[in-house]
């Protein structure tokens, strides 16, 4: 197992090369399963656990916070708080429109962090991320609120998710000008089938500014595992509908290339897809979720899979998004 750790931006947080996405906890993975996956994750030598207050508000009967609450109960039961880096998020709606339970205002950030800390049963969040940009709130207000939380010891570092390159650059410049804590990481949508938006503008900015990158949907909602190869396969999972757009000649070509590289290494397509991301300069840790211990152990092996230059060239060529 590759035990290397990477520093997240300029912060003191060091993370292993794959992050565990916890959006499935309390949704497609029940609490007992989630506990087993978390135990296996830490047992494999990894440490970055990524969740959000909104997980899994979209599921019937859920109101948000289910994932954080499960993680909190696991932290208390396992005693492993010091072995993990907890990353969660604020900003997406946690109430009906007009409730004020969304965005990046000082008032909502302070309420949301209180709620997340209570659910997580911890006194601090290692990486607190803006889940979405909030153009309606001045950047100065948002970052001043984060500065308060950091001064109070409730947050160690902050990050951004789903920001455009211009808005991320504006945020970084504002923090530099005012002496406020800046975002130290970015969560972009990035994988072999979703390359263009990140690579064209966000990647150069993140590398120039030294931001860590923890990209979400590292396996393209499961498409890059090879699980979905026809429309008939979409019913295999509640997430199947989200990959229908990839069932085209380019997407199927990517799967064929993953199959070839995987066969050459005695690996799986999912392992190759993650190894390709890990090998890319500037990527700190792709995020991948697992609904069983066996699934996590498969994904964890990607950290030790060293692709050749020819492997990477083959995958780059077939996945080029013009």
Of 53, 46, 45, whose CA–CA distance to 23 is shortest?
53
Which residues are bridge partners to 55 per DSSP? none
Determine whether 169 is exposed, middle or buried from the number of CB atoms within 10 Å of its CB (0-12, 13-18, 19+). middle
Q: Which of 55, 190, 198, 246 is catalytic?
A: 55
**Antiparallel, parallel or unpaired: β 6-7 and 19-21:** unpaired
Token reading at 133: 């940009």
Distances in Å between the Cα of 305 and the Cα atoms of 91, 179, 265 are: 36, 41, 8
> What secondary structure does DSSP assign to 177-190, as a single string?
HHTPPPEEEEE-B-
Q: Contact 124/154 with Cβ under 8 angstroms?
A: yes
Q: Contact 85/41 with Cβ under 8 angstroms?
A: no
Residue 159 phi, psi dihedral angles, 5° rounding: -145, 170
CA distance 105 to 110: 9
Token reading at 218: 């590292």
Of 180, 169, 176, 87, whose CA–CA distance to 142 is shortest?
180
Q: Contact 263/257 with Cβ under 8 angstroms?
A: no
Q: Contact 160/130 with Cβ under 8 angstroms?
A: yes
Q: Contact 287/20 with Cβ under 8 angstroms?
A: yes
Token reading at 32: 């007992």
Q: Contact 109/146 with Cβ under 8 angstroms?
A: yes
Is 190 an annotated catalytic residue?
Answer: no
Q: Which residues are catalytic?
A: 55
């Amino acid at each position: 197992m590759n035990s290397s750790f990477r520093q997240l931006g300029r912060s003191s947080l060091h993370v292993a090369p794959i992050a565990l996405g916890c959006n499935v906890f309390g949704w497609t993975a029940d609490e007992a399963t989630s506990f087993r996956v978390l135990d296996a994750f830490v047992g494999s030598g990894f440490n970055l656990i990524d969740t959000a207050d909104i997980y899994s508000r979209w599921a019937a009967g859920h109101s948000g916070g289910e994932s954080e609450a499960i993680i909190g109960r696991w932290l208390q039961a396992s005693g492993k708080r010091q072995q993990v880096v907890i990353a969660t998020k604020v900003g997406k709606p946690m109430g009906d429109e007009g409730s004020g339970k969304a965005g990046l205002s000082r008032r909502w950030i302070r309420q949301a962090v209180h709620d997340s800390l209570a659910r997580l049963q911890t006194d601090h969040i290692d990486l607190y991320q803006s889940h979405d940009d909030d153009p309606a709130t001045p950047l100065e207000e948002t970052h001043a609120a984060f500065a308060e939380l950091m001064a109070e010891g409730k947050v160690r570092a902050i990050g951004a998710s789903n920001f455009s390159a211009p808005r991320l650059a504006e945020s970084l410049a504002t923090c530099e000008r005012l002496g406020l804590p800046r975002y130290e990481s970015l969560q972009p949508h990035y994988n072999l089938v979703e390359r263009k938006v990140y690579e064209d503008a966000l990647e150069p900015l993140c590398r120039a500014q030294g931001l860590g990158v923890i990209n979400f949907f590292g396996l393209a909602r499961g498409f890059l595992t090879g699980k979905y190869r026809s429309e008939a396969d979409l019913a295999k999972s509640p997430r199947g509908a989200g990959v229908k757009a990839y069932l085209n000649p380019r997407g199927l070509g990517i799967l064929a290339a993953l199959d070839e590289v995987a066969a050459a290494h005695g690996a799986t397509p999912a392992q190759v897809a993650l190894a390709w991301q890990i090998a890319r300069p500037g990527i700190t840790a792709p995020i991948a979720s697992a609904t069983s211990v066996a699934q996590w152990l498969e994904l964890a092996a990607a950290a030790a899979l060293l692709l050749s230059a020819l492997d990477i060239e083959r995958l780059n060529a077939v996945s080029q998004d013009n």
